[in-house]
Amino acid sequence: MLPIIQVGPLALQVPGVILLVGLWLGLLLSERRARRIGDNPAELYNMVFIGLIAGVIGARLSYAITYPDAFSGNLQNLVSLNPGLLDPFAGALIGIAAVVIYMYRKSLPVWRTLDNLTPLFAVMAIAIGLSHLASGNAFGAPTVVPWGIHLWGSLRHPTQVYEIITASLILIAILIIDRTRWVETSGNIFLAFMSLMAISRLFIEAFRGDSILIANEFRLAQVVAWLILAACLGLFGWRVSLRKKDKETIG
Amino acid sequence: MNNITPFKWIVFSLLLLSLGAVWIWVSSAPPGSTTQGDIPAPQKGFLAPDFELETLDHTVYKLSDLRGKPVLINFWASWCPPCRSEMPAIQNVYDEYRDQGFEVLAINSTHQDNLGDAITFAQIRQLTFPILLDRDGAVGNLYEIRSLPTSYFIDKKGIIQDVVIGGPMAEALLIIRAEQLFADTP
């Protein structure tokens, strides 16, 4: 665990630094992919940064709307650097909405663009695992396994390490799949990534010590991951049947 | 992908989703098994580690004696600019909520600070909440403090509800967290 690095008078928040490095590396990989298939990488950069800026502004405004009394006394609070004053769910929705609008205005093909962004998503999944390891968040349940780590008063499953390992394997798998005939159909890389991430979350969440429970016993993240997996498999199946029909029509 | 028929895909999907559903059921957790409220650790969701410290006038404060009240623990030092910046906001929020039972324990990292400077700062800023002196750094170590300021928002049951590393904290953040501490635990 290393949440802070002191560089002279500056206290660097390591999880944040890791996420920024992940964003940079992920964008580099996505840029390479876009160039390889003949797309304009500048569109990717613009889209990601518009999404991020809209997401951060939206997250702060949503928080201010939720707690107007706390902000009304001093509007400087709106530009405070405290990440605790952000609504991550609303920020994600607004960021995605901004990206969708950008794609629509630039007439970018949805599945092809998502495929181009997949290396970025895969690298960010590793970066999130590393940031959890640095902060001690997303910790595991108490255990007696020999590879357990001492954290927060107990020997625990190193769920952050599980996260990093599975996300790294998924990145490698995506890079391999990207060189096969699977890429002939746009969207396959993205759907493969989402399916693999959902499977890994289904598996790892079972070892977490901080799961949110629903119906008093089921882990919410597993249920969400299962639904995402079902949606991805359904989309795959639908596309397989469409291709088959197309072939029959042509035949 | 070209060799996959829709039928084969449906069978594969149903098998995978069934396995997933069984895994969710097998790894389900009984109520309370994933909450860490009984273990003391300086992390959100855990019991705030107990300590006992003296103020400048030798009044002794023990964290567990404040059970039943929302508490903000703020680790600070007089040489630390963000610590100095956020103190007026902490004082404002303390003034606003103290009548409802809100407590602020400002723990001065005395082993890293000049006690005279800390006293002068508290007097100039007219801080009315208790300034506790961590003379040997034991409480800082207990809370694994790596950066100043660091703040812990603790609910009435003694559970840490939020940790803010670094600063200065905006007054809005302090107000919202104080309101949440009152709202979350009746």
Interface test with B, best of A7, A66, A80, A186 (most B CBs within 10 A): A80
Q: pLDDT higher for A21 or B34?
A: A21
What is the distance in angstroms between the CA of the first residue and the CA of the last residue of chain A? 60
Partner A contacted by B30 (CB < 8 A): yes
Q: How many CB atoms lie within 10 A of CB B178?
A: 21
Is the complex ipTM more than 0.95?
A: no
- pLDDT value at A148 more than 70: yes
B166 conformational bin, left if phi > 0, alpha if psi -120 to 50, beta if neither: left
When pLDDT is cut at 50, 70 and 90, the band that residue A28 belongs to is: very high
- Mean pLDDT of all residues in B48-63: 94
CB A54 within 8 A of CB A95: yes
B113-163 tens-digit pLDDT = 999 999 999 999 999 999 999 999 999 999 999 889 999 999 999 999 999
Dihedral angle at the C-alpha atoms of A158, A160, A164, A169, nearest 10 degrees?
60
* Beta strands B60-62 and B52-54, pairing class: antiparallel
Length of chain B: 186
What value does the mean pLDDT take over residues B84-99? 95
Query: How many other CB atoms are found less than 10 A from the CB of residue B18?
Result: 10
Mean pLDDT of B177-181: 94
Cα separation, A223 vs A206, in Å, equals 11
Q: Among candidates B139, B162, B172, which has minimal Cα distance to B62? A: B139
The whole-number pLDDT of residue A156 equals 93
Do A206 and B9 make contact, defined as CB atoms within 8 angstroms? no
Q: Which of residues 148-177 of A touch B (CB under 8 A)?
A: 152-154
What is chain A's mean pLDDT, rounded?
91
Domains of chain B: 52-184 (3.40.30.10)
> Which pLDDT tens digit goes with each residue over A41-84?
999 999 999 999 999 999 999 999 999 988 887 788 888 888 88
Instruction: Give ∠ CA B29-A121-A113 in degrees, rounded to 5.
Output: 130
**Pairwise CA distance, residues B55 & B122, whole Å:** 12
Respond yes or no on whether the N-terminal peptide bond of residue B42 is cis (omega within 30° of 0).
Answer: no
B51-60 burial string, b = 16+ CB within 10 Å, else e?
bebebeeeee
Cβ neighbours of B166 in A, within 8 Å? 4, 11, 13
What amino acid is encoded at B28 in this protein? S
Output the CA–CA distances (angstroms, integers) from residue A165 to A25, A65, A171, A202, in the order listed: 18, 39, 10, 15
Residues 3-22 of chain B whose Cβ lies under 8 A from any Cβ of chain A: 4-6, 9-10, 12-13, 16-17, 20-21
Query: What is the residue whose two structure tokens read 């613009």?
Result: A46
Res. B32 pLDDT band, cuts 50 70 90: low
Determine the pLDDT at residue B5.
79
Q: Which residue of B has its CA nearest to A82?
A: B169
Handedness of CA B107, B110, B111, B114 (dihedral sign): positive
Segment A180-211, tens digit of pLDDT:
877 778 899 999 999 999 999 999 999 999 88
* Residue A238 reports pLDDT greater than 90: no
